[in-house]
Amino acid sequence: MFRSGRFVADALGDVDDEQVQPNGVDLRLGAVYEQVEPGRVGTDGKTVGERRELDPDEGGDGDGGDGDEKTAVYRLDPGGYVVGYADTVRIPEGHVGFLYPRSSLLRNSCMLDTAVWDAGYEGRGEGLLEVYHPVELERGARIAQLVLAEANHADTYDGSYQREGIE
């Protein structure tokens, strides 16, 4: 059974009301990266290729008001990018997390590929953004929706990505 958006919000903690949806919580864009070195996934382990954070252009007002704050806007050409989420994800015991792209991405010729988040995972996490047509993404924009489902499991996550982006 999938949990309500309010349940997911309570598990995550620090989210804005606008992020809470009926069946999940929207995650916001933290940063965009380009992979610059090869990685490796083998039977004996993995190596994540080196990447560099893209420099966002400075866009319009970040606060919709006085014009003092600027919002970072990523102008992306077609290709593959790694996105880092701005929100800390916490998957509670007895649950599994699934992340889906918001329809706004899909409607703008973008796809967000993600993986399962196991019970016990805590971190900011990353996803693969596939861009098929030039697009602008604002830092802090809601790009994905996290849903939680009840799950039976023997252990909780304690892998190499534990606490990524928050330590």
Domain assignments of the chain as residue spans, ordered by start: 1-37+72-167
Q: What is the mean pLDDT of each run of 10 residues along the chain (167 residues)?
A: 95 94 96 95 94 82 50 94 96 96 96 95 95 96 97 88 84
pLDDT of residue 166: 85
**pLDDT number for residue 109:** 97
**Contact call for residues 29 and 138 (beta carbons, < 8 A):** yes
User: Considering only CA atoms, which of 7, 3, 26, 29 is closest in space to residue 16?
Assistant: 26
- Positive or negative, the CA dihedral 93, 5, 161, 163 is negative
**Predicted local distance difference test score (pLDDT) of residue 59:** 57
What are the tokens at 27? 């995650």
77 Cα distance to chain centroid: 19
Q: So what's the pLDDT on residue 157?
A: 87
Q: Is the pTM of this model over 0.95?
A: no
Per the CATH hierarchy, to which homologous superfamily does domain 1-37+72-167 belong?
A: Deoxyuridine triphosphatase (dUTPase) (2.70.40.10)
**33 SS3 class:** strand
Give the model's pLDDT for residue 58. Answer: 65
* Dist. CA 69–CA 59, nearest whole Å: 10
Write down the pLDDT at residue 161.
87
